[in-house]
């Protein structure tokens, strides 16, 4: 069994990993940038080590410094969390070179699927629908325009080695291409240390469905689906499981496609297969995320499974025995709360958390890294907290999340709490009349 894990991340996911490690009696090492010196994950870990300046490329994307930190602290393994280096094949190869367990897929698998258009090529071979688009990284603006004309505008630009909505831009026509291209490359480089971009046909009316999988040496487990259709600028705002918008026939088809993907890839560990459903309920493969997802907590709440723990167990070559969840008696909803000013176009809000009251009660879970007097800076993602409500029905989960949002109090900074309260109270949300255009329509009311 692993004795010490270095966590190559920050914020709430670093704390989430530390908690599971403590329950498994595994020592933890927190890495931090200069501005994160007083972060909660640093205080909760058994050891901590500074890895550089506040800029991502000098700290949380600095492969050499993170590997050196693992060696100095005699860490057996590295957990990458999500974002940053979690899908970086060079980082995985460095872990393998220095005999440090990477808590995730091998470099061989990451090489296949970490690059999004490579993954699409593989999935095309097993005849699962993929969205028309480029088959490799676009090398020039003119190449991108030519491909866009061939498949037809609108198109969407995406980061080849990223996720979480970073580096994604919709392009409606040729005139918009250059500005969107430059913005997508800059954002991708800043967040993933790689500016490769690819493009796809933009399907406007759709739902976003993902399947959580766990693959041991002997069996594939699927833990239902998560619906992530409520998004703002391609970043998920509200997620729920199971999806209230698909029937068992569609669910079964998506699960079968997921199993087919995992089998063909010889994937091992935890991961998420993402699909979109168009207005005709035809589903298309988007990508495979070979890591933990931000929204993994809602799956944990309806299954009672610690997904981080399973990641660690699988990497230690131990077998697992759980059941597949085609149906759950519970329903869970997650709201991602950001430090943003909703009156100023959701511009990031920085400053000191003067006071904080966390909601509680049966069926409420809060994952966060902020605390009283915590200072929020402009350096990192604006998500500061996740509220998860779970209950025996969707209707009751909505009641619970409403109550929790009203009970949550954060003073000193601007947040999206009131925005979430309005979303949850919207009749279209309550009735399940939702697709990825929901936020756009909601903001126009």
pLDDT single digits (tens) 399-442: 999 999 999 999 999 999 999 999 999 999 999 888 898 998 87
206-443 matches 132-201 in CATH topology: no
**Percent of the chain residues past pLDDT 70, beyond the cut:** 99
User: Would you state the pLDDT for residue 164?
Assistant: 65
How do residues 75-112 score in pLDDT, each as one tens digit? 999 999 999 999 999 999 999 999 999 999 999 999 88
Alpha-carbon span 31 to 6, nearest angstrom: 7
| Cis check: omega of the bond before 154, within 30 degrees of 0 | yes
User: Would you state the pLDDT for residue 204?
Assistant: 76
* Structural contact between residues 31 and 51, judged by C-beta atoms closer than 8 angstroms: yes
The dotted CATH code for 206-443 is 3.30.470.20
User: Would you state the pLDDT for residue 326?
Assistant: 78
Q: Which position has the token pair 């505008």? A: 153
Q: Where are the domains of the chain?
A: 4-103, 132-201, 206-443
Q: Is the pLDDT of residue 161 over 90?
A: no
How do residues 352-396 score in pLDDT, each as one tens digit? 999 999 999 999 999 999 999 999 999 999 999 999 999 999 999
Kindly write down the DSSP assignment for every residue of 220-246, as one continuous string: EEEEEEEEEEEEETTEEEEEEES-TT-
Question: 4-103: what fold?
Answer: Rossmann fold (3.40.50)
Alpha-carbon span 374 to 386, nearest angstrom: 17
Q: What is the mean pLDDT of the chain?
A: 93
Query: 163 falls in which pLDDT band (50, 70, 90)?
Result: low
What's the rounded mean pLDDT across residues 17-24? 98
User: Would you state the pLDDT for residue 307?
Assistant: 97
Which amino acids are annotated catalytic?
A: 291
**What CATH superfamily classification does 132-201 receive?**
ATP-grasp fold, A domain (3.30.1490.20)
* Structural contact between residues 361 and 269, judged by C-beta atoms closer than 8 angstroms: no
Query: 445 falls in which pLDDT band (50, 70, 90)?
Result: low
């Amino acid at each position: 069994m692993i004795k010490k894990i270095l966590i190559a991340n920050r914020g709430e996911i670093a704390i989430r990993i530390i908690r599971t490690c403590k329950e498994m009696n595994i020592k933890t090492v927190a890495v931090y940038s200069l501005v994160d010196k007083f972060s909660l994950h640093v205080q909760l870990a058994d050891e901590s080590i500074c890895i550089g300046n506040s800029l991502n490329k000098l700290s949380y994307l600095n492969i050499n410094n993170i590997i050196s930190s693992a060696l100095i602290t005699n860490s057996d393994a590295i957990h990458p969390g999500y974002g940053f280096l979690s899908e970086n094949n060079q980082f995985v190869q460095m872990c393998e070179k220095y005999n440090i367990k990477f808590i995730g897929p091998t470099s061989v698998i990451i090489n296949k699927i970490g690059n999004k258009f490579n993954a699409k090529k593989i999935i095309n071979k097993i005849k699962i629908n993929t969205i028309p688009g480029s088959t490799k990284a676009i090398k020039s603006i003119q190449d991108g325009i030519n491909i866009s004309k061939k498949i037809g505008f609108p198109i969407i630009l995406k980061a080849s080695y990223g996720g979480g909505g970073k580096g994604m831009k919709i392009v409606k026509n040729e005139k918009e291409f250059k500005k969107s291209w430059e913005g997508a490359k800059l954002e991708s480089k800043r967040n993933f240390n790689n500016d490769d971009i690819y493009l796809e046909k933009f399907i406007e009316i759709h739902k976003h469905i993902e399947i959580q999988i766990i693959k041991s040496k002997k069996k594939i487990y699927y833990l239902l689906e998560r619906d992530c259709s409520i998004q703002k600028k391609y970043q998920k705002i509200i997620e729920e499981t199971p999806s209230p918008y698909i029937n068992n026939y569609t669910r079964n088809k998506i699960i079968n496609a997921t199993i087919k993907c995992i089998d063909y890839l010889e994937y091992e560990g935890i991961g998420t297969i993402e699909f979109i459903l168009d207005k005709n309920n035809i589903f298309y493969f988007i990508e495979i995320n070979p890591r933990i997802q931000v929204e993994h907590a809602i799956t944990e709440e309806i299954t009672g499974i610690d997904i981080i723990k399973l990641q660690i167990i699988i990497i230690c070559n131990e077998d697992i025995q759980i059941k597949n969840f085609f149906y759950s008696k519970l329903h869970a909803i997650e709201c991602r709360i950001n430090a943003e000013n909703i009156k100023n176009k959701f511009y990031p809000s920085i400053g000191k958390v003067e006071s904080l009251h966390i909601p509680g009660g049966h069926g409420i879970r809060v994952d966060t890294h902020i605390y009283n007097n915590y200072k929020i800076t402009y350096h990192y993602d604006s998500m500061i907290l996740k509220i998860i409500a779970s209950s025996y029905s969707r209707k009751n989960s909505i009641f619970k999340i409403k109550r929790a949002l009203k009970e949550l109090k954060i003073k000193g900074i601007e947040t999206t709490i009131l925005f979430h309260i309005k979303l949850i109270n919207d009749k279209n949300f309550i009735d399940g009349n939702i697709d990825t255009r929901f936020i756009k329509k909601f903001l126009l009311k």
